[in-house]
Amino acid sequence: MTPTARPTAGSDPRLLLLDERDNVFVVRERIRSGETIAVSGMPITVQAALPLGHKIARRDIGPGEKVVKYGAPIGSATTAIRTGDHAHLHNIKSDYTPTYHLDDVKAEYGSSE
């Protein structure tokens, strides 16, 4: 892990902070849907399962604000992201090129995964 990566006080130990400047945590162990976990001192009930490697907001992030991970901007919030929200394609966009994904077609055609 990056030298400063660590769990933080007030947050679930399955959440990893990569850099003090970050406004997102990385999920280092799968968190199940419906679990209530601590995020920056607040109890948050997880609405959908959070797989390994996904991000959740460490604090409130306003629309247009930079999302920061590894201490560096990784894109901009497209909507208000609240502390504990899953931070991903539905609320972050690249400042360079749009992200290609198959989430919409999975919903349309079904997925056997």
Partner 1 sequence: MTMRGYLRADGRKGIRNTIVVGYLVECAHHVASEIAIPFRDKDVHVIGFPGCYPNSYAETMMERLCTHPNVGAVLLVSLGCESFNKYKLEHLVRESGRPVQTIVIQATGGTRKSIDEGRTFVGDQRTRFDAMETVPIAVGELVVGTVCGGSDGTSGITGNPAAGRAFDMLTADGAACIFEETGELIGCEHIMADRAVTPALGRELEASVAKAARYYATLGYGSFAAGNADGGLTTIEEKSMGAYAKSGSSPISGLIKPGDVPPRGGLYLLDVVPDGEVRFGFPNINDNAEIAELIACGSHVILFVTGRGSVVGSAISPVVKICANPETYRRMADDMDVDAGRILEGKATLDAVGREIRDVVLGLADGQRTKSEELGHQEFILTYKSFEPIGPACLPAA
Q: Are 43 and 69 in contact (CB under 8 A)?
A: no
**Nearer to partner 1 by C-beta: 30 or 82?**
30
Phi/psi of residue 39, each to 5°? -130, 115
User: What DSSP string runs through the chain?
Assistant: --TT-B--TTS-TTEEBS-TT-SEEEESS-B-TT-EEEETTEEEE-SS-B-TT-EEESS-B-TTPEEEETTEEEEEESS-B-TT-EESTTTEE-SSSPPP--HHHHHHH----
Tell me which residues in 58-87 interact with partner 1 (CB under 8 A): 67, 69-70, 72-75, 87
Q: Assess 21 for contact with partner 1 (CB under 8 A).
A: no
**Nearer to partner 1 by C-beta: 41 or 105?**
105
Tell me the closest approach of the beta carbon of residue 71 to partner 1, in angstroms.
Answer: 9
Tell me the closest approach of the beta carbon of residue 58 to partner 1, in angstroms.
Answer: 15
Q: Assess 102 for contact with partner 1 (CB under 8 A).
A: yes
Q: Assess 53 for contact with partner 1 (CB under 8 A).
A: yes
Chain residues in the site for partner 1 (CB under 8 A): 1-2, 5, 16, 18, 26-30, 51-55, 67, 69-70, 72-75, 87-89, 92-103
